[in-house]
Chains A and B, each alone.
Chain A
Amino acid sequence: MNAQFKKGVLEMCVLSLLAQGEKYGYELTEAISQKMTVAAGTLYLILKRLKDDGDVDTYLVESAEGPARKYYRLTEKGRSHEQQLTGEWQEFVRLVDELIRKGEA
């Protein structure tokens, strides 16, 4: 998949996945890398930026089997940002679809 597309879209994917439910870091990176080839490290950097921007906040959950897990969840700001991005994406996809289908009868 085109690298330029990916960069812009990854952030939206992270926000969307979190909109579907709070997740811890590893869980999120696995969910995305199942569908796309992306360096998990990039996703952690995106998560950090989202946290610094106030779109996401984190909390720790103690675990019996291992180290404490850092969970990510959307803030109000993150929620509205996610809606804005997915809205723009869907509109974009619709427009591109129209353009490329114009060639077909």
Chain B
Amino acid sequence: MNRKEYMERLQMDLEAVDEQTAKEILQDFTDHFEQGLSEGRSEEEISEELGDPAELISELNTRPHRQAQAESQTQIDALSMVSIEAESADITLKQGTGNDVLVDFYDSRNPLRVHNYRLETVQENDVYAIRVIRLQNSWLRAGAGEHLRLDVTLPSASLDVKISSMSGDIRVPEILHCGKFAASVQSGDIDIRALDAEAVQFTSASGDIHAAVRGELIEATSISGDLDLTQAHGKLGKFRTTSGDLDIRGCFQAVLAESKSGDLDLAIEAAESLKLDTISGDIHLTLPHTTGFVCSFTTISGDLRPHIHLPLERRGRQLSAGDGHAQIAVKTISGDLKISD
């Protein structure tokens, strides 16, 4: 190929790529030709050396900024769950108005990427599975996943959702209605603006969880990550942490909360039964609008500090207030308990 042909082919193949990238590439290749020619090499030789334009450009995406997109062609009645598996891609979940699951997988910074990851979407019986898979030759690119994004738009119908991530974050920026919602992360964070589900389960190792959720059963477990639930609404809340702090504000009939060293800061309305357990973590329990409770506090070295406006009666380890309606059992080793209303 001569220079003119080569550059024309290159220009054509660059049509699908964004302007800035195309401009830079054309300039680099032009300079290369100039330099080669000035050394007395032939146009053919230089074209040969640069490589086939179509092959080169196919290493870029044909759709700039998008590595892969997928649309489910499923019958919505056949689908009961959407499952998402990724390691480092940040996952954003939204609810659409249609019947399909829409998936967008891309590198947020750069359309020009060696493809170390591949998107797989497959319907297995009644589950629509979305997986981001790391390719074999990526051993030298540790950490190459940080800028990956996986945007999933769910159908308008309420399905079960299961998400598993390692370092990627999970975000739900707008209200989502679904069946059972389960999200698990290692170091990534979970950030949920509003979730209306049948049941909710959050699992994290070191990632933080911030969520406003509604569900009959709300379960959250973390190791060192903090757990921050606002406007939580459910029948039963089960919360467990090792060293992370727990900050739960909402309405539950029953709450079970366990921690080792993390502190518990709970403001629970309409509670009938609360069971709180820590080793060294301090507990601050607020019971807004409470009519009364009976609280048994078992501790080795912790202090009990009631800040209650109802008539109080203290009998050894048991504190009664008001009509003694709610049942509260607190156990710590060294953690303090402060109860307010």
Contact = CB atoms under 8 A, between A and B. Distances in A.
B49 to A, nearest CB: 5
Interface string B114-145: 10000000000000000000001111111000
A25 B140 contact: no
Contact of B50 (A39, A69, A88, A89): A39
Interface in A35-67: 39-42, 44-45, 47-49, 52-53, 65-67
A7 B114 CA distance: 8
Nearest first, the 3 A-B pairs at minimum CB distance are A39-B51, A26-B35, A41-B51
A8 interface: yes
Interface residues of A, number: 32
Give the secondary structure class of B's interface.
Answer: helix
Contacts of B35: 25-26, 66, 69
Nearest to A66: B38
A70 interface: yes
Interface in B45-102: 49-53, 55-56, 59-60
A88 B138 CA distance: 12
Give the secondary structure class of A's interface.
Answer: helix
B21 interface: yes
Contact of A44 (B28, B113, B139): B28
Contacts of A12: 140
Contacts of B114: 7-8, 11, 49
B129 to A, nearest CB: 27
Contact of B139 (A8, A41, A69, A70): A8
B25 A53 contact: no
Interface string A23-40: 001100100010000011
B323 interface: no
Contacts, number: 87
A10 to B, nearest CB: 9
Given A8-B138, A8-B139, A66-B34, A48 B50 contact: no
A4 interface: yes
A40 B32 contact: yes
A11 B138 CA distance: 12
A65 B38 contact: yes
A7 B113 contact: no
A45 B34 contact: no
Contacts of A25: 28, 31-32, 35
B112 A49 contact: yes
A67 B31 contact: yes
Contacts of A11: 114, 140-141
B24 interface: yes
B110 interface: yes
B113 A49 contact: yes
A53 B112 CA distance: 10
Contacts of A26: 31-32, 35-36
B49 A45 contact: no
A98 to B, nearest CB: 17
Contacts of B110: 49, 52-53
Contact of A40 (B27, B51, B55, B60): B51
B5 to A, nearest CB: 15
A42 B25 contact: no
26 contacts: A5-B137, A8-B137, A8-B138, A8-B139, A8-B141, A9-B140, A11-B114, A25-B28, A25-B31, A25-B32, A25-B35, A26-B35, A26-B36, A29-B32, A39-B49, A41-B50, A42-B56, A44-B25, A45-B59, A48-B28, A49-B110, A49-B113, A52-B109, A70-B28, A70-B31, A92-B139
